[in-house]
A and B are shown apart, each in its own frame.
Chain A
């Protein structure tokens, strides 16, 4: 709670200074939120040149809209929202597919796969990190994530890497928190199924 209040006070201070004419302070806001913006843009936009234009466009919009920011959410969440909407607009303009219906079936084929698999179990009490070849699993998962639709990639990244809550992700994407949760479950299930279709379980563990 204190952390949120402290964050809010810091946000307010930065915003007030920018609005009072200290434009260089806007650079601090960019530095503070650049990681989040990069995550959203990298997950949603494939073209590298477009990423640069969109990143600049996002912060120009933030600067123009800053007088209207009401501090009803964290500044970073608000900037994330602007970034997400800018990416959506870009994809719409380019008529790119945002979310393909790859999750048509609600059945869980992995249950069958699991049945077929050799159930060579690792030591369950041992942390997973010690059981996997880190580089290997990271690369495998990366390839699988790349195949997901943009919105699911973004949700996965915001939840697991940026560690945002369902509500914060909901604010950024404009989706209800329940929908965010549901999409995340689907995305992870899809990743798992894809993983198990191409790799035997024992290959994933060393």
Chain B
């Protein structure tokens, strides 16, 4: 009769978690002294691993980190400022449009519609690009300041 011993991985599986091990493995271990010996060494090893002391920092990490965190942002004041700027902007554009409506119509009356669209799209693209670049710069500078 040829006895097929457990593989090393099977012996480890049994040693680490015998309750969830295949029945075949458990039965073999009960009968085979050689495999049982292998499992016992692994069980001893795993016991030794689990007995290792819990590593811990010898300083108050929580306190150390929290005092380095940036103070919370005043979100409400930021938003208020944005709304004020938005209203001023709309008011400014409205006033200009009201007083110079005739001039605008005269200014663009001689130009083909396609050129007007081209000018508007180009202007909007440039403004958007500038705004994004400005915001990114602002954001990176704020992050840099926060880290100090």
**A-to-B contact residues, CB < 8 Å:** 21-24, 26-27, 30-31, 34-35, 38-39, 41-43, 51-52, 55-56, 59-60, 63-64, 108, 110, 114, 117, 119, 121-122, 124, 128-129, 131-132, 134, 137-138, 140-142, 145, 156-157, 160-161, 185, 188-189, 191-192, 195-196, 201, 204-205
Interface mask (B50-66 → A, CB under 8 Å = 1, otherwise 0): 11101111010111111
Give the Cβ gap from A118 to chain B, nearest Cβ, in Å: 10
Chain A residues whose C-beta falls within 8 Å of the C-beta of B52 in the assembled complex: 138, 141-142, 145, 157, 161
**B-to-A contact residues, CB < 8 Å:** 8-9, 12, 16, 33-34, 36-38, 40-52, 54-57, 59, 61-66, 68-73, 75, 143, 147
Query: Contacts A26-B66, A132-B44: A138 and B61 contacting too (C-beta < 8 A)?
Result: no
B75 with A52: CB separation less than 8 A: no
Rounded to whole angstroms, the CA-CA distance of A22 and B72 in the bound complex is 7
CB nearest to A156 among chain B residues: B49
Chain A residues whose C-beta falls within 8 Å of the C-beta of B49 in the assembled complex: 141, 145, 156, 160-161, 191
Chain A residues whose C-beta falls within 8 Å of the C-beta of B65 in the assembled complex: 26-27, 30, 56, 59-60, 63
B57 with A128: CB separation less than 8 A: no
A34 with B12: CB separation less than 8 A: no
Query: Contacts A52-B57, A185-B8, A196-B41: A27 and B48 contacting too (C-beta < 8 A)?
Result: no
Chain A residues whose C-beta falls within 8 Å of the C-beta of B59 in the assembled complex: 52
CB nearest to B73 among chain A residues: A21
B43 with A161: CB separation less than 8 A: no
Query: Could you list 22 examples of A-B contacts with CB < 8 Å?
Result: A21-B75, A26-B66, A26-B69, A27-B66, A34-B62, A51-B57, A56-B68, A59-B61, A63-B65, A121-B36, A137-B47, A138-B48, A141-B51, A142-B52, A145-B52, A160-B46, A160-B50, A185-B8, A188-B45, A189-B8, A191-B45, A204-B44
CB nearest to A194 among chain B residues: B45
- 19 further A-B contacts with Cβ under 8 Å, apart from A21-B72, A39-B54, A134-B51, are A26-B69, A27-B62, A31-B62, A34-B57, A39-B55, A52-B57, A60-B147, A108-B8, A110-B41, A114-B37, A121-B40, A124-B40, A128-B40, A141-B45, A145-B52, A161-B52, A188-B42, A195-B45, A201-B41
| Residue from A24, A64, A134, A192 in contact with B41 in the complex, judged by beta carbons closer than 8 Å | A192
Rounded to whole angstroms, the CA-CA distance of A192 and B8 in the bound complex is 11
CB nearest to A29 among chain B residues: B62
B48 with A141: CB separation less than 8 A: yes
Query: Contacts A138-B48, A195-B41: A23 and B66 contacting too (C-beta < 8 A)?
Result: yes
Chain B residues whose C-beta falls within 8 Å of the C-beta of A205 in the assembled complex: 44
B33 with A121: CB separation less than 8 A: yes
Query: Contacts A129-B47, A132-B47: A119 and B33 contacting too (C-beta < 8 A)?
Result: yes
Rounded to whole angstroms, the CA-CA distance of A59 and B33 in the bound complex is 51
B40 with A161: CB separation less than 8 A: no
